Amino acid sequence: MKVSTLVIAAAATLANAALAPIEIKGNAFYQKGNDTRFYIRGVDYQPGGSSELADPIADAKGCKRDVEYFKELGVNTIRVYSVDSSADHDECMKALDDAGIYLLLDVNTPHQSLNRADPDPSYNAAYLQNVFAIIDKFKDYDNTFGFFAANEVINSVDGANTTEAAPYVKAVVRDMKAYIKAQAKRKIPVGYSAADVQTSRFQQMQYFNCGDEDERIDMFGMNDYSWCGDSSFEKSGYKANVDQYTGYSIPMFFSEFGCNKGTQNGRPFTEIEALYSDKMSSVYSGGLVYEYSQEDSNYGLVELNGDSVKKLKDFDTLKKQFAKVQDPSGDGGASTSSNSTGSPCPSYDEKTWMVKEDDKVPPMPSEAMDYIKHGAGKGLGTAAPDTQAGATSFPPAGSGTANPDSLPSGSGSSSDSSSSGSSSGSSSSSGAAGAVKVPQVFSSTAIIPSVMLAAAFVFGVNTVF
């Protein structure tokens, strides 16, 4: 009897070792099989910055070193901005899982991303192949929280010209959802991470949550730097946002926060108290602090130097705040009813939102249908072609078959026989990584904080600042 008790106990421990996947009900997150709401307590993890493809979770040693600090901070989620679609991530993902940490992942890289200045050519099947290959690498981990289809593509602070890229972002959302439905074992949330621009933020929330359900995001991340120093719920603008966003039908959270303006002596992180209080929890589900490592933009919690990690003052302050502030009790005011209509689509407005209500989301390039049907094939990583200016050849699809009944209708009308495999091999010659040097963005004169430019830069968007 004793022995069997032990066996059961051991089995239970093993089962608990794996995090339960995140699910969405109404406008909140839950761990599968658990009715208690899940709030993101996260940090953005982008050691080395964003100017070239750097994959911090392919570096098992660095990852395991940093997981100890994530645990000490008390975080349950990290966000990573770009990964190598050819790399192995098993060791890091296991270390994160063992530590109770989920991954929110952006599927873009500096050379495979939408170009907001000229989105049409940058939305092509070779680009989507890289996106899908990244999904393949992460779809089987239970601690993959979800994916961001894009980050800060719309970033006009003055005027609305970048809002014209919104239909392309929505197309990527739709394609990712179709790919996940066809190729993954579970539903994995797909979101968008919006820049801190007030002019069009509400329209973005509406737009990405309106129209056909297959094209709508599952969650909305906002990069928000409005609480600086010892601000307050009212002064920061948080209250006004809660008032305006109440009733939004899907989960919303800060995909970046932690303003450092006027905080030479360290950030107090007093916004943590507001964010995890019932003043905000009916609308927000927590957030991720920008950012783990100290980089040029001066938002770091630790300084990395070779193998050494030095905690900075902000590390201790954030750790104390996370420890002090508990999640709201009960459901925190979340709505559990699913809302099948979503938001109304925003109206065209020359000054803020230049997408017309009848502007169509561009159709998926027909060559990409093979990926949906047969899998993305090999992840090319840094050898993938630069797809921003268009693509003439497409990496071959995989040899799998899609889940039955998962294929999107109306797409891929071209005949099956026009296999994308015919261009096999061309990718390596056409896409020498590093051939195109992405310009630095920090010299920008834009008035948005550099941190947002840094984050926007992971798109590799060409010099539009």
CA dihedral 343, 192, 280, 198 (to 10 degrees): -80
Q: List the structure tokens of 254.
A: 């800060």
Six-digit token string for 17: 């070792």
**Site for ligand NAG, residues 289 to 348, rule: CB under 6 A:** 339, 341-343
For residue 206, the minimal CB distance to ligand NAG (Å) is: 7
CA angle 220, 275, 47 (to 5 degrees): 65
> In the range 177-236, which residues lie near ligand NAG by CB under 6 A?
209
Please identify, using beta-carbon distances, which residue of 112 and 209 lies nearer to ligand NAG: 209
DSSP string, 178-206: HHHHHH-SS---EEEEE-S-TTTHHHHHH
Residue 152 is a catalytic residue: yes
Catalytic status, residue 273: no
- Site string (271-290) toward ligand NAG, x via CB under 6 A: --------------------
Catalytic residue among 256, 291, 295, 367: 256
- Which residues lie across from 304 on neighbouring strands? 309
Cβ neighbours of residue 286 closer than 8 Å, sequence gap 6 or more? 39, 40, 41, 42, 253, 254, 275, 276
Q: Are 461 and 431 in contact (CB under 8 A)?
A: no
Nearer to ligand NAG, 135 or 153 (CB): 153
Query: Which of residues 133 and 205 has its CB atom nearest to ligand NAG in the complex?
Result: 205
Nearest distance in Å: CB 107, ligand NAG: 21
CB 452 within 8 A of CB 403: no
Q: What does the per-residue mask of binding to ligand NAG show for 132-161, with x meaning CB under 6 A? A: ------------------------x--x-x
Q: 85 or 162, CB closer to ligand NAG?
A: 162
Q: Is 247 in the site for ligand NAG (CB under 6 A)?
A: yes
Looking at the Cβ atoms of 51 and 339, the one nearer to ligand NAG is 339
**CA–CA separation, 395 and 110 (whole Å):** 18
Return the residue of 162, 255, 282, 420 that touches ligand NAG, per CB under 6 A: 162
Q: Are strands 302-305 and 37-38 parallel, antiparallel or unpaired?
A: unpaired
Element (H, E) at 37: strand 37-38
Cβ density class 419-454: b for 16+ within 10 Å, e for less: ebbebeebbeebbebeeeebeebeeeebebbbbbbb
Find the catalytic residue in 23, 52, 72, 152: 152
**Taking the complex as a whole, how short is the minimal distance between the CB of residue 465 and ligand NAG, in angstroms?**
7
Stretch binding ligand NAG (CB under 6 A), from 131-139, 191-199, 241-249, 399-407: 241-249
Query: Catalytic residue positions?
Result: 152, 256
Residues that bind ligand NAG (CB under 6 A): 31, 34, 36, 38, 116-117, 156, 159, 161-162, 209, 247-249, 339, 341-343, 464
